[in-house]
Amino acid sequence: MAPPVNIIVGSHVWVEDPKEAWVGGEVSRINGEEVHVQTKNGKTVVTHISKVFPEDTEAPPGGVDDMTKLSYLHEPGVLHNLAARYELNEIYTYTGNILIAVNPFQRLPHMYDTHMMEQYKGAGFGELSPHVFAIADVAYRAMINEGKSNSILVSGESGAGKTETTKMLMRYLAYLGGRSGVEGRTVEQQVLESNPVLEAFGNAKTVRNNNSSRFGKFVEIQFDKSGRISGAAIRTYLLERSRVCQVSDPERNYHCFYLLCAAPPEDREKFKLGNPKEYHYLNQSSCYVLDGIDDSEEYAATRRAMDVVGISDEEQDAIFMVVAAILHLGNVEFAKGEEIDSSVIKDEKSRFHLSTTAELLKCDPKSLEDALIKRVMVTPEEVITRTLDPASALASRDALAKTVYSRLFDWLVEKINFSIGQDPNSKSLIGVLDIYGFESFKFNSFEQFCINFTNEKLQQHFNQHVFKMEQEEYTKEEINWSYIEFVDNQDVLDLIEKKPGGVISLLDEACMFPKSTHETFAQKLYQTFKNHKRFIKPKLSRTSFTISHYAGEVTYLADQFIDKNKDYVIAEHQDLLTASKCPFVAGLFPPLPEESSKSSKFSSIGSRFKLQLQSLMETLSSTEPHYIRCVKPNNVLKPAIFENFNIIQQLRCGGVLEAIRISCAGYPTRRTFYEFLNRFGVLAPDVLEGNCDDKVACQMILDKMGLAGYQIGKTKVFLRAGQMAELDAKRAEVLGNAARTIQRQIRTHMARKEFIAVRKAAIQLQSYVRGISSREIFEKLRQEAAAVKIQKYLWRYIARKSYLRVRLSAVTLQTGLRAMTARNEFRFRKQTKAAILLQAHLRCHIAYSYYRSLQKAAIVTQCGWRRRVARRELRNLKMAARETGALKEAKDKLEKRVEELTYRVQLEKRLRTDLEEEKAQEASKFQEALHAMQIQLEEANARAIREREAAQKAIEDAPPLIKETPVLIQDTEKIDSLSAEVESLKTMLLSERQAAEEARKACIDAEARNAELTRQLEDAGRKVDQLQESVQRLEEKLSSTESENQVLRQQALTMSPKALSSRPKTVIIQRTPENGNIVNGESKVTSDLSLSISSAREPESEEKPQKYLNEKQQENQELLIKCITQDLGFFGGRPIAACVIYKCLLHWRSFEVERTGIFDRVIQTVASAIEVQDNNDILAYWLSNTSTLLFLLQHTLKASGAASLTPQRRRTSSASLFGRMSQGLRASPQSAGLSFLNGRGGLGRLDDLRQVEAKYPALLFKQQLTAFLEKIYGMIRDNLKKEISPVLGLCIKAPRTSRASLLKGRAQANAVAQQALIAHWQSIVKSLDNYLKIMKANYVPPFLVRKVFTQIFSFINVQLFNSLLLRRECCSFSNGEFLKAGLAELEQWCYGASEEYAGSAWDELKHIRQAIGFLVIHQKPKKTLNEITKELCPVLSIQQLYRISTMYWDDKYGTHSVSSDVISSMRIMMTEDSNNAVSSSFLLDDDSSIPFSVDDISKTMEQVDITDIEPPPLIREHSGFGFLLPRLE
């Protein structure tokens, strides 16, 4: 066999490796059919040429997201692609429309949040990165569009992440369906809440997984006609019933048995349970405890889950009572009886367990014993009762246990479905199948046989689906596919399930014969299937058999097949439990119909298994399937570990390699015309220079290469297996020749460059030597010039020094004389000034004394007069002001009390300050005394030392014999005197220290007293605060009472024209600060206040004018509402409607009344005007009006009542009752000259507007106006978002260049493509210009315009950036260039719009700008992480940078992304962030909030002048609106 054309020396290939499964290498030699490969790990491998597969050297370093895009679709290519993507945390990969999910074994919350769901909602399949949401979205869209139910099959071995994937699917479907369940819980939450219950009763520990599901689960999410979730149901299939009675080591039985044995003591005592090792159904295995799992906590969690599901406490006790009964039942053993083939209870221990079982099941112990060891046979003549032998009795016991457990599990599923709530009227559903995967252990029994039988069925369904997809692809491309072979596994299914003669049929037949054993069953299999190609008989075993499944050969041990297969409900068991006194147990075994109870039909687990599997397949066949294959990357369950052998085995078991085999049977390599020409256009450049289209060009290239068997579809080229490698080999040859030509030219260039460099070096050397000579001559000349300069400066220095000395002497003499003269002059002026000052002070004192005496006399006179007036008014108003007077009296008392307390506080503060000063003075005195004593001591010590040294010196200098004794005596006396002095000084120091200690103690005592005084002061302060609060409350109450009285008086004055005309005049007097009132020019009423009393006595005269005024006001309001419903336009850039509304409301005093309907009418008018949400002109018009009106209200209205007054204002206003009354009259419209009623009062600028105390309706109107302003703003912003959103989707992806760009016309083609892209950006700019023009035309405040465009640019930033991170084809170099050109259009628009309207909108694009900057920057591998994060992309997070770096690909120059070291550093930082609970989402969130407040509008808008606003024609001539006319100066 000659080697294939595509494998030559130098080819890059994959070869098998015992450690890594497959390893890459390069072919070094070919000998016939032997290939020598130099691998990447340095080894040389010799292998057969058929075991070598070509490697794609041009594959992206990060892999491809769809493995059908691989140039070589084979096992090593698939494995390498998955490994490359897994290293980058890309855990999802497509194979066509099949999703492969590799378990990351770490939390990736950013991949499953709401932002990610929003991105995949409605996106086309394959448009975004592979994701489980994409599969769910395809299923949902197919269900909605086609009206057909869909199913999603999630498969994989234990620990591969099937359950988590199922949760994500349900989360996304709940997000799309969007219906909340009972009590606020979604359907998805209710289904997930049932998981702990099903796991407790349906999961067990197996060899590979501690929590393996031993049943299949099919979750049906039901939808109504509108696509909303209407219900859900859980269907369970294929429960492994035999595990209840038989457990292999080191596996465990179902979790619930161990949980119950770890229950609290009171529960265990109730069920009479002990250690799990005591029970036969549990001690068959040595495994009782799971690592890291506390069964007692799991028991409590299961109880809580049952509560959530809706299982009552009584039902829970009954459930666990049945579980405990099964454990006790397993400990019942039998011995031979006295008769032949009879059995009895073995011993007292078995008798105890039997009675406990009967007690728990609430049935008769004797009946239970008879049901286990006796059988009743009914014949036409008589009823025969026979006993069973011990072996049959054990089988009867196990059959009862399996039946009870199976019925219990079915009851739980039914209860859960009832809790979730099903929709019987649902027409469509999406089912999610979570079922156990293919299993192949060292020892495989009946359970593995059933599981693998299930997976064979599902694999056939999978193969049919894949082949169907292949057919659809070929049909879509209109190519011939009739000769493609379909890979089928029907022969294996016939071997297992065929009737008669299948393995299951033979097993049922063996179970019906009492004398059958596993040896006879195995021999029967050997005889029946000796010639079957899928059945293999092992050589060294008599009871084993091997079946060749799709995933490989599996050897089964037939030792326990017969025992595990037996499953039929014995009539005695049925009757026993139906008669149970426990309603729960009796409900598990309802009475059978009379016909079925009489017929004892044989039943087995294998048959039931086959029927359930058939039902499941029928359900799946009625739906449109979608497949998710979950893969476990390693067995240690840790992240970042990729075990190749483990992955290959799972891909085989999951059928992925089988799907690849189906694809390889047809056309495994498919390339679009563009991709094919881009890769293989170099093979025929002359073809590309022609004017033929892409399809004809591809045909010509393939014909030129001499290939046969390929197909050309409508958009793709389909190549047979091996043809891609052949084309690559020829392409490599062409590129090699081109590379040699380039090398020749480069070498020529390098040689000439070296010659030019040598010549340049010689010239530089000559120049250097000449330079040295010139520098020596220059240095000599420089030294001569320096000597001359030094002499000159020295002579100048000597002369200047002499001059300065003479000048200094003269200046000194002048200074002395001038100073003496100045001092004499200063002394004379000082004396003169002092005399003048004394005279001034004396004259001032005389004048001020005279003025004070006159002032005192005037005040006394005024006080007397005011006292008489106040007494007279007090008598007139005594009845009306009784409550006010009482409150005032209480307030005065409280004020006196506050003043007394304030004085006491100040006195205590003064005492405290004096005490602290005295203490500080004493402490300083003590410190000074101590310091002085220390100085004296040091001086004494120093003096003693000096004298001692002098004495010693004198002794040394004295003659040795003469006057020796007297000197010694004299020195001794000096020393003694000095010592005595030192002792006295020490005594003084000690006494001073004692005094200091006493002072310190006194200081501590003083501090303690000070602290006590401080505490008392704080208590007094708190009391003062409480009293002040009480006074404040009383003042507020008093003020509110005064406000009510004032309003009543104003209404009385307003409604009584006669009283108005007869109101007495007021006298204006000047007031000084000393007379009790600060404000000058206040009007004081000099006559009696009989006005309000007389107006109150004339109700008849008021009714008619009041009615007339109300009708007139109603008419004016109707006219105003009719007017503002029209488009009034603008006057000098100010909205007329807002100004008219404001002036009318202010004139009508609507802000100050307690009840009015004008505000609601205005709000309703605005609401009806903006009902048409798409009319941006109307929205902008009302945005301008509402913002202006709100601005005017913000500067006019203030809260009414005492709460709006400052403390100083309250205190002043309450000082004088007469002052308050006169102030109320001054605030009335009449006292203001009726400026608003007669039309002569005008409104000035906003600074001149008076503030109005607003009542509740006015404040509510302001709040409603604010809400409408925010609503209109949001509508304009959202309309602009809707308008640009479709165009943004076209802007993110640059249009592909035509094949002309593959040759010399690249620049021209790029220009054409750029024009196409810029057209989309110009469409966005056009929309922005249109909205800006509309808002300018309607004079919308620039502040709001800036906010709109800032949020729009933020929206553009979020959409572009998120799309860039989710679509790998967008993270390319050329796409970055196109996006950069598009953003330049937006930047130009910002400059054109000016900063007044664009504001900081351009800064909102910082994320997409920095991401594009990263895409288009050159030499990325040379960039360090610090440069990227600090300089290039400081705004982007590590997660975002990691995503861009791993998805980047250069489609223009073929350069690489950042270095692997930078990628590793990013991954480490991401891991640290996840440990620190930092959000790891790489997507941005669109902010749709309102980015401003009322205060922002008030601060940013310009002043509004409403004086010269022309009223609309509708109300201009109306007499009631004369106040709107501009005032003539």
What digits encode the pLDDT tens for the residues 1148-1177? 888 888 888 888 889 999 998 888 777 889
Q: pLDDT at residue 183 above 70?
A: no
How do residues 637-648 score in pLDDT, each as one tens digit?
788 888 988 888
In 228-333, the DSSP E strands lie at 229-237
Q: Hey, what are 1383's tokens?
A: 């953003």
Q: Please tell me the distance from the alpha carbon of residue 35 to that of residue 52, in angstroms, as a whole number.
A: 8
How do residues 1051-1071 score in pLDDT, each as one tens digit?
444 443 333 333 333 333 333
In this structure, which amino acid lies at residue 1483?
A: L
Mean pLDDT in residue range 564-587: 83
**What pLDDT is stored for residue 1480 in this prediction?**
56
Give the Cβ contact number of residue 1419 at 10 Å.
8
- DSSP for 69-112? G-SS-SHHHHHHHHHHHHHTT--EEEETTEEEEE--SS--GGGS
How do residues 971-991 score in pLDDT, each as one tens digit?
567 777 787 888 888 888 888
Active site residue 158: yes
Catalytic residue among 81, 93, 95, 163: 163
Instruction: Tell me, rounded to whole angstroms, the distance of Cα 1303 from its chain centroid.
Output: 48
Q: Please tell me the distance from the alpha carbon of residue 142 to that of residue 121, in angstroms, as a whole number.
A: 13
Active site residue 439: yes
- With 0-12 CB in 10 A as exposed, 13-18 as middle and 19+ as buried, what is 653? buried
Active site residue 437: yes
How do residues 102-149 score in pLDDT, each as one tens digit?
998 887 777 888 888 888 888 888 888 899 999 999 999 989 888 888
Q: Hey, what are 390's tokens?
A: 């011990």
In 1053-1207, the DSSP E strands lie at 1067-1068, 1083-1084, 1130-1131, 1134-1135, 1197-1199
CA angle, corner 177, sides to 172 and 183, nearest 5? 100
**What pLDDT is stored for residue 1308 in this prediction?**
54
Q: Hey, what are 1318's tokens?
A: 């810029």
Q: Which residue has the tokens 């003048």?
A: 836
Q: pLDDT at residue 1244 above 50?
A: no
- With 0-12 CB in 10 A as exposed, 13-18 as middle and 19+ as buried, what is 800? exposed
- With 0-12 CB in 10 A as exposed, 13-18 as middle and 19+ as buried, what is 1224? middle
Catalytic residue among 71, 95, 103, 158: 158
Looking at per-residue pLDDT, the higher value among 465 and 581 belongs to: 581
Catalytic residue among 71, 212, 428, 1362: 212
Catalytic residue among 195, 209, 578, 597: 209
Q: Which range (63-72, 270-279, 305-314, 831-840) has the least confidence?
A: 63-72
Mean pLDDT in residue range 588-598: 65
Q: Please tell me the distance from the alpha carbon of residue 636 to that of residue 105, in angstroms, as a whole number.
A: 10
Q: Which range (321-330, 494-503, 701-710) has the least confidence?
A: 701-710
In this structure, which amino acid lies at residue 365?
A: P
Band of residue 50 on the pLDDT scale cut at 50, 70, 90: confident
In this structure, which amino acid lies at residue 1093?
A: I
**What pLDDT is stored for residue 942 in this prediction?**
87
Distance from the first to the final alpha carbon of the chain: 114
Q: Are 1317 and 1381 in contact (CB under 8 A)?
A: yes
Backbone conformation region of residue 1339, classed left if phi is above 0, alpha if psi is from -120 to 50, else beta: left
Catalytic residue among 24, 437, 654, 681: 437
Catalytic residue among 25, 63, 159, 713: 159
Band of residue 1356 on the pLDDT scale cut at 50, 70, 90: very high
Mean pLDDT in residue range 1362-1379: 82
Q: Which phi and psi (to 5°) does residue 14 adopt?
A: -110, 135
Q: What DSSP state is assigned to residue 1331?
A: H
Band of residue 1 on the pLDDT scale cut at 50, 70, 90: very low
Q: Hey, what are 1418's tokens?
A: 């050159």
Q: Are 12 and 77 in contact (CB under 8 A)?
A: no
Active site residue 548: no
User: Which residues touch 1309 (CB under 8 Å, ≥6 apart)?
Assistant: 1297, 1298, 1300, 1301
Q: Please tell me the distance from the alpha carbon of residue 153 to that of residue 155, in angstroms, as a whole number.
A: 6
Q: Hey, what are 1328's tokens?
A: 């922005």
Q: Please tell me the distance from the alpha carbon of residue 473 to that of residue 477, in angstroms, as a whole number.
A: 6
Active site residue 163: yes
230 to each of 149, 288, 367, how far by Cα in Å?
A: 14, 42, 47
In 113-264, the DSSP E strands lie at 150-155, 203-204, 212-213, 216-223, 229-237
Catalytic residue among 193, 298, 333, 439: 439
Percent of the chain with pLDDT over 70: 85
Q: Using DSSP bridges, classify how beta strands 150-155 and 624-631 pair: parallel, antiparallel or unpaired.
A: parallel
- DSSP for 484-512? PPPP--HHHHHHHH-TTTSHHHHHHHHHH
Catalytic residue among 165, 213, 1212, 1214: 213
Mean pLDDT over each residue of the chain, to the nearest integer:
80
Give the Cβ contact number of residue 565 at 10 Å.
23
Give the Cβ contact number of residue 780 at 10 Å.
8
Percent of the chain with pLDDT over 90: 22
**What pLDDT is stored for residue 971 in this prediction?**
59
Q: Using DSSP bridges, classify how beta strands 53-54 and 12-17 pair: parallel, antiparallel or unpaired.
A: antiparallel
Band of residue 317 on the pLDDT scale cut at 50, 70, 90: very high
Band of residue 799 on the pLDDT scale cut at 50, 70, 90: very high
